[in-house]
Amino acid sequence: MVGTLVNVGAILAGSLLGLLLGAKIPERIRQTVLYTMGFFTLALGIQMFLKTTNAIVVLASLIIGVLLGEWWRIEESIENLGGWLELRLTGKNHEQGQSRFVQGFLTTALLYCVGPLAILGAIQDGLTGDYSILAAKSILDGFASIAFSSTFGVGVPFSSVPLLIYQGGISLIAAQLQPMVTPLMMAEMTATGGVLLIGLSIGSILKLCTVRVGNLLPALIVAPLLVALLTGVGWIIP
């Protein structure tokens, strides 16, 4: 879990710097940096999606995943967690979806957790102790935290909590899961994560439309399971 701890430290350091510099950074610069992060996230999501070898698997995973996510109200739970943290820290509570704290917490928690670097890096760290992938991710997340915290405020550093649980959890169980995860399963899971990043960019960062990306998170689990199922019945040849 060393890599995850480094990642969390980078997010906290970047967030602190962004909070300290936030008032000194002109609004036009903050907006431009935020939009730049949105464009980069969109491009990264497209790059990830192109790794798929069967787009139908990705589509099916997203449909099943969003049905589960809407049923379990995952995004609402994440928002409630952000609201609870805001209430405990500031003594204030805003309507869900309106608070900068909740918006910053939700956006960055999803951004830091979704992606091939988080998954592959956590698995590599857990199996071999090599956290070079997570070290590279930490640099990206640290710079992103500066931009996001200067815009969204104190909600951003608290997004490191779900990251610690999610990424650290993957590292802890990687030794048990890795023998069952094939390259094809990883490819489709990565492609599915790319679609989630595209939705995150369009909905939460660039704000072009409303997308409840949190409710799509089960698709990351559905994708490799679906590949395993279809491989088992002979519909996909590994």
Given this model, what pLDDT does residue 96 score? 47
Q: Cβ distance 224 to 170 under 8 Å?
A: no
Residues of the chain with pLDDT under 50: 96-97
pTM for the complete prediction?
Answer: 0.79
The enclosing H or E element of 187 equals: helix 183-200
Q: Give the Cα separation of 102 and 94 in Å (integer).
A: 9
Given this model, what pLDDT does residue 90 score? 59
Angle at 82 between CA 78 and CA 88, to 5 degrees: 145
Q: Cβ distance 141 to 87 under 8 Å?
A: no
Nearest CA to 123 out of 193, 170, 160, 189 is that of: 170
Given this model, what pLDDT does residue 94 score? 53
DSSP 203: I
Tell me the domain boundaries of the chain. Answer: 2-232
Given this model, what pLDDT does residue 230 score? 93
